[in-house]
Structure 1
């Protein structure tokens, strides 16, 4: 079955292609990235499901591999890449390599098709019909083939494999356990809003949650932000767009046509700040200071007026590199996801996913949140998607294909959520069974528990990581008990 799938390696700038090999020589000439990880490429079918669409046509899927602590037969830690280049998620997920030393584990970070350099049609991947092969099921099939390859190559009999992921990647980690329990022993699904993404829950809950996160810093901050938007609206009603442009230091003048885009640009900053509210500086989505919510609130409250405070608070995200002015059209691109789609090709890919399978939040209301009313109804999303891609969203699909909230028949999944994460309310917060466990990270922002250890970590995340490692260890022990009928790892693994 795997004979037509191959691995492509890069060595000294030269490409080499070969069928799958079951020897360790196959990965001999990978590029070294940072001492722990090397780069490799798996040859994957463009279309795993329609045998006639592209036949045996393939593309190269990028992944990072670390064998630093690997012992044959030991576990494989497998990160299910999400909406961006895989290197960023590797840098933001130090938990895997830190715990690899404890379990003698191999660590894999697999890039999601259509993101980073894993482009099925190269530069033409986002044109015409080509983008249609960007689906969750296609991406998961890529992961399944890669997992089978790794297990056939590195494991004498078979190896336990633990899937990890944060946010959308956490959703995929859970889905891999749902759909491929024969390949995935267990999953750590961090900050994955499975309820919201599958179309369940409050469509306006996300921006309400962002507002609540800023309210935890200061209710005065929330009031100041509301006032800043009100003052902006008042100036717009007076036709004084020159003053708005001056206060926000926009590179191009704000006009009546671009006012809503300015609002979206500001809202996107607050959204990102809330997600990345780590206790130390980090750069997952851009350079950010430690406790950025507090920093933004201080700027809003200490400014001479509410409008200037709103602009300076937004600059905590956008002005990390001290730009002379803000190019609001380059820094923020409107799309089918009101919470933001990123930039460049990643923007196109996530925009398309928001137009097809994934249920993203509706707009802000200025009733349950502190932002201007920027509606984005299901009908508006449908019209946008039909115009841009010629497709209509299928809001019921994820619940049908990946179980929605009815996941109790699965097992061995940790659902972790931080109480500072605006996506947190969209996830699971109570144990669903003895093996479907919900962990609350007090003082934790977006998948903080997946990050590497830091002296500024709150005690709760240290405790949660220890608990997660203990649960994963139990899954691995149970795997070996079934496989070898022993109480622990086989002797040749230890």
Structure 2
């Protein structure tokens, strides 16, 4: 893979997910100095979602000026009051009374105001249509949001998606207070990793987030992400079988040449390697690093092929690289791989192809926020401590051969952050992430649109089947986050339909409560219905689900008091079923809608743990335990409150 020169790196704003602009294609760098890999753990150096060029209009001046919110460093430790300044942007240009609030979540790179100032983007188009205010919130430990003095391993412990979700919840509540918004409808948006964050925000905080658009969000964490390479080869072969065949033949030849000194010398010349391979056999890691670099050219191209942004729209595409791999020019397949290497590297200023694994690790070990590896260090930390997402070639019969094992990525975690990060601990962390959020199969968010592209390798970890009001949209023929970029006449029908689906979802969120439901709690996005005809807990939950909701969940004292008053309307002496239960685990109570269980209001001596008492009721307002929670036999018939998240 071609490397960036120091001069180009300093001149170019290295973007993250929803971040600064892509580098422009430049002439080959005469210094031929390697610096950085283009793809690091599936993340390009500009971030997972390339950012469109900002429209420089006078009315955007205020919106392009960042503001800062004082954010808590650790949301899970009440003994510390440390804070940091979190960068955000605000554009109220379209806001009218009753309009929603759109929040674009930043991901693993510097955020950018361009997402809230570029009229051609669908995000901005929808904001104008629905009279919405627009925010962009930068993710902790990326861009200029630097919670700690450096990125040492001890400081990175506060970098996680769970902290980021809590950051977002705190930010939303703060903005409601600052702007004196009453019962606003917040809709969160994101792409790639921040798309997963958007989905998790709606799932975990349905009381403050009315809906989400989670573009290309990999909600399923997986240590060995074998499917990534499988989608890459499928996308290439779907376009051109000869192209895929020549890539495969080229990688076979690469491995054969690597086995001899003469072959390595030829590879050094053909790929402009620096340092060149010598007579001695290189280390396994140097060899894997080289294969990862060459393979990364195709990963990068496929991931964004024909997205309507920068050079991906028409230049760096699957047809373009396949044209080089199938050219009838008398070159060997290895030489054609080198041509693709030069072609892709040209978009980053060119340079020689680095081979030193140790040099790469040294760069990643830098703990300075000013290091050119800073955002990559943060992202790899998250893959090593939460997600995995390691794009290995361990699956048999792939076109790249068995060249990059999962151990290549696991060993990076150990080398960069310490010996405590090994395959066992990483696997445990990945399992913990899926258990916490529900993964793909147990996702419980509602009022969410989940667009994914069939060409995009990341769709393999996304939600592809509609469940209730969590609407999946697998778009045939598109790549990563294609729905986020400006529409054009060449868009495939599925992409146009996905944008219509997003529009329809926003429209449904903006509708008033369904018949029989009403707003009970000012400040959240729920509609409630009291059902006075008594039913057992599961029958009550089934009725609520059939109406598009769940038994009511409660997330703070204000909601609890309001719900108690509402439930007493028919009978002030009747207890009321709520959604809390421990039927799945005797030692852990969860809400039936999957939302957060941080708030509780147990009566004295509760919860009781008899086998038959797995369900929770709220005490009647006229009883000795008004609004307090008590366990009860799930078979008991009593009134209940349904809640629909709008």
TM-score range, shorter chain: 0.7 to 0.9
User: Who is 1:437 aligned against?
Assistant: 471
User: Who is 1:98 aligned against?
Assistant: 125
Q: Following the alignment from structure 1 to structure 2, what is the Cα–Cα distance between the partners of residues 334 and 376?
A: 17
Q: Following the alignment from structure 1 to structure 2, what is the Cα–Cα distance between the partners of residues 234 and 214?
A: 23
Q: Following the alignment from structure 2 to structure 1, what is the Cα–Cα distance between the partners of residues 158 and 114?
A: 23
**Is it true that 1:87 corresponds to 2:112 in the alignment?**
yes
1:379-390 paired onto structure 2 within 5 Å: 384-389=412-417, 390=420
Q: Following the alignment from structure 2 to structure 1, what is the Cα–Cα distance between the partners of residues 113 and 455?
A: 21
Is the alpha carbon distance of 1:408 and 1:87 closer, same or farther for their aligned partners in structure 2, counting shifts above 3 Å? closer
User: Who is 1:146 aligned against?
Assistant: 171
Is the alpha carbon distance of 1:32 and 1:353 closer, same or farther for their aligned partners in structure 2, counting shifts above 3 Å? farther
Q: Following the alignment from structure 1 to structure 2, what is the Cα–Cα distance between the partners of residues 425 and 324?
A: 33
**Is it true that 1:301 corresponds to 2:326 in the alignment?**
yes
Q: Structure 2 regions of 5+ residues with no counterpart?
A: 1-57, 365-370, 522-646
**Deviation, structure 1 residue 233:** 1.6
1:78-227 paired onto structure 2 within 5 Å: 78-87=103-112, 90=115, 94-122=121-149, 124=150, 126-195=151-220, 197=221, 203-227=225-249
- Contact 2:71–2:84 (Cα < 8 Å) also in 1: yes
**Is it true that 1:475 corresponds to 2:509 in the alignment?**
yes
Residues 54-99 of structure 1, C-alpha deviation per residue, up to 9 Å, x if partnerless?
x222111111221121124411111221111112983899221121
Is the alpha carbon distance of 1:458 and 1:211 closer, same or farther for their aligned partners in structure 2, counting shifts above 3 Å? same
**Deviation, structure 1 residue 279:** 5.3
**Is it true that 1:427 corresponds to 2:449 in the alignment?**
no
Give the alignment partner of residue 277 of structure 1, picking from 272, 283, 305: 305
Q: Following the alignment from structure 2 to structure 1, what is the Cα–Cα distance between the partners of residues 356 and 121?
A: 33
**Deviation, structure 1 residue 483:** 4.3
Aligned partner of residue 196 in structure 2, secondary structure: helix
- Contact 1:76–1:162 (Cα < 8 Å) also in 2: yes
Task: Count residues with an aligned counterpart.
Answer: 437
**Is it true that 1:414 corresponds to 2:441 in the alignment?**
no
Q: Following the alignment from structure 2 to structure 1, what is the Cα–Cα distance between the partners of residues 292 and 404?
A: 11
User: Who is 2:378 aligned against?
Assistant: 349
User: Who is 1:252 aligned against?
Assistant: 275
**Is it true that 1:404 corresponds to 2:423 in the alignment?**
no
**Is it true that 1:371 corresponds to 2:406 in the alignment?**
no
**Deviation, structure 1 residue 482:** 4.4
Which deviates further from its counterpart, 468-477 or 242-251? 242-251
- Contact 1:167–1:192 (Cα < 8 Å) also in 2: yes
User: Which protein has the bigger helix share?
Assistant: 1
**Is it true that 1:234 corresponds to 2:256 in the alignment?**
yes
Is the alpha carbon distance of 1:35 and 1:300 closer, same or farther for their aligned partners in structure 2, counting shifts above 3 Å? farther
Aligned partner of residue 395 in structure 1, secondary structure: helix
Please report the RMSD computed on the Cα atoms of aligned residues, expressed in angstroms. Answer: 3.1
Q: Which has the larger radius of gyration?
A: 2
Q: Following the alignment from structure 1 to structure 2, what is the Cα–Cα distance between the partners of residues 84 and 321?
A: 18
TM-score normalised by the chain length of structure 1: 0.81
**Deviation, structure 1 residue 320:** 1.5
**Deviation, structure 1 residue 291:** 5.9
TM-score normalised by the chain length of structure 2: 0.62
- Contact 2:307–2:485 (Cα < 8 Å) also in 1: no
Q: Following the alignment from structure 1 to structure 2, what is the Cα–Cα distance between the partners of residues 375 and 326?
A: 17
Give the alignment partner of residue 317 of structure 2, picking from 292, 303, 307: 292
Q: Structure 1 regions of 5+ residues with no counterpart?
A: 1-30, 486-494
Aligned partner of residue 162 in structure 1, secondary structure: strand
Q: Following the alignment from structure 1 to structure 2, what is the Cα–Cα distance between the partners of residues 409 and 296?
A: 40
- Contact 1:288–1:316 (Cα < 8 Å) also in 2: no
User: Who is 1:454 aligned against?
Assistant: 488
